[in-house]
Structure 1
Amino acid sequence: MTELGNMLAALPLFAMIRDGGWTMWLIAALSVITLAVVLWKVGSLWRLGVWGGRHSRRAVELWTQGRRHEAIQQVRGRPSARARVAQAAIGTSLDPRFDDQAAREETARVARQVLYRSREGLRSLELIATIAPLLGLLGTVLGMIAAFQVLQSSGNQADPSDLAGGIWVALLTTAAGMAVAIPAGVALSWFESIADRLQADLEDLATRVFVTSGDRPTARARLVEAAE
């Protein structure tokens, strides 16, 4: 254990964290959390299928052409976000148990669930982007206070190099806080843009299904198509 401790102490990054005090340890923990949240979020969006959409677009095209049975087959059972909403819109439109209002409400419910999952975890990135620079500033202020206390106690005998070293260590926490906040903010903006694009696509898909001019089947027609 002693040998491992000596190896860690020799690392420049570990030395900076150690010299920066407790605020640097908190910022270091935030950096690890940020990386974990970003990796988890990328995996979550991948499983949600936010970068897909070929089948849902094809299904809507078939729907507008009146080929309703083929349209529902394009998205049936597919787990991607757009396919789930397209399936809800087309499926409820073909289901005689749903009138127009009920079909819209059910599609909106599915879309809200998908959008919630697409935005899950973004609040944590927003919080990190906010508090990381504040922690860095707090560490700098505390370090400056300590440095000037040393200067006051030393009087005329103060060593300028010791004072400069204390100020350098204090400013280090501000730089570390910004180094964590900037990637967190960039990742937050990227994920929000993905969610916004997904929301716009879901609204477009649902609207194209529900407002197909004069092509929405009657209850009798939907019973026939369901039987097929």
Structure 2
Amino acid sequence: MNLFVLLQATQAATAQLTETAEAVPAEGTSYFSLVLKGGWILLPIFLLSLLAIYLIIERWLAISRMGKNDSIWMSRVIELISENKTDKALRFCLERPYASGKVIAAGLKEINNTEKDIEDAMQIEARQQLSFLERGMNYLGITASIAPMLGFLGTIFGVILIFYNISMTNDLNIANISDGLYQKMICSGAGLLVGIVAYSGFYILNGRIDRAVVNMEKAGNDALKAIKAARKSEQTGKE
């Protein structure tokens, strides 16, 4: 008997869901109006999506500008350092927005001090340039974590409201349950979508930052070697 009742309920639920699915295109429901049924929780998710897109674009442009590997420019800097034209090399470094240029410039400003002072100055500047490259990345990571949670939270609130209405009205109607549930699951879908975008952007940008740091370290080491060679050549000439 119970199995017979369960089969009848399943058939009725399937029929109602089919009618609902067929009625959606007839009503001309657009994707935008469908998304709006997710409720108020979509507002913070939408704001997080704007934040994620802004940070990804802004950081991409900044890393492309600061972390550029310009071999021609670097060769010219090394040439000027080898010729003991440190003033020209310093100006040449400051003219470019490259992070490696700022690191080399920090070392050239200490050219009259010991090699240890030059190396320390370049390391300090390298850490500062790294902090500039990573600026805003923590917000992107937070967005990747919070957006899916907000989506699940909106869905849970919707489910709670559905069962609360059932308890108040004592009306266990599968159409009402499915209608309210699919609307609230929009929150989960939106949150996951924003989280995927932010998560992907976070790791792609981190990969670009790592490459920029490698280029910066290589440029600093090459400049330091050129400074040491120029000093040794100058001392040999004096002798």
Same fold (TM over 0.5): yes
The 1:212–1:111 alpha-carbon spacing in structure 2 relative to 1, beyond 3 Å, is same
Q: Percent of aligned positions with the same letter in both sequences?
A: 19
1:51 aligned to which of 64, 68, 84 = 68
Give the whole-Å Cα distance in 2 for the aligned partners of 1:220 and 1:143: 77
Shift in alpha-carbon separation, 1:205–1:173, aligned structure 2, 3 A: same
Deviation of 1:106 after TM superposition, in Å, equals 1.4
1:119 aligns with 2:134: yes
Q: Verify: 1:20 aligned to 2:31, yes or no.
A: no
Q: What is the TM-score normalised by the length of structure 2?
A: 0.73
The correspondence for 1:152, drawn from 142, 167, 170, is 167
| Paired letter, 1:54 | S
> How many positions carry a matched residue from both structures?
207
From the superposition, tell whether residues 192 and 18 of structure 1 become closer, same or farther in structure 2 (CA, over 3 Å). Answer: same
Q: Check 1:52–1:209 CA distance in 2 against 1; reply closer, same or farther (3 A cut).
A: closer
Q: TM-score, normalised by structure 1?
A: 0.76
Q: Which amino acid aligns with 2:212?
A: L
Q: Is the 8 A contact 1:53 1:82 kept in 2?
A: no
Gap regions ≥5 residues in structure 2? 1-27
Contact 2:77 2:93 in 1 (8 A): no
**Residue 13 to residue 35, structure 1, CA distance change in 2 (3 Å):** farther
Structure 1, 136-145 or 14-23: larger mean CA deviation: 14-23
C-alpha root-mean-square deviation of aligned residues, in Å? 3.1
Query: Is 1:138–2:153 an aligned residue pair?
Result: yes
CA contact (8 A) 2:74 2:219 kept: yes
Task: Give the direction of change, closer, same or farther, for the CA distance of 1:214–1:37 in structure 2 (3 Å limit).
Answer: closer
1:46-85 correspondence runs (5 A) = 46=64, 48-59=65-76, 62=79, 66-69=82-85, 72=89, 75=93, 77-85=95-103
Larger Rg: 2
5+ unaligned residues in a row in structure 1: which ranges?
1-9
CA–CA distance in structure 2, aligned partners of residues 11 and 38 of structure 1: 32
Show the counterpart of 2:201.
Answer: 187
User: 1:211 and 1:120, CA in 2 relative to 1: closer, same or farther beyond 3 A?
Assistant: same
Q: Deviations over 1:97-117 (max 9, x none)?
A: x21111112112222222111
The Cα shift of 1:216 comes to 4.9
Distance 1:49 1:123, change over 3 A: same
1:172-207: CA deviation from partner (whole Å, max 9, x where unpaired) = 111100110111111111211111111112122222
Structural mapping, 1:89-128, within 5 Å: 89=107, 91-92=108-109, 95-96=111-112, 98-128=113-143
Call closer, same or farther: CA 1:12–1:124 in 2, change over 3 Å. farther
Larger relative contact order, structure 1 or 2 (CA cutoff 8 Å, min sep 6)? 2
Report whether the alignment pairs 1:170 with 2:187: no
* Counterpart-to-counterpart distance in 1, 2:76 and 2:145: 42
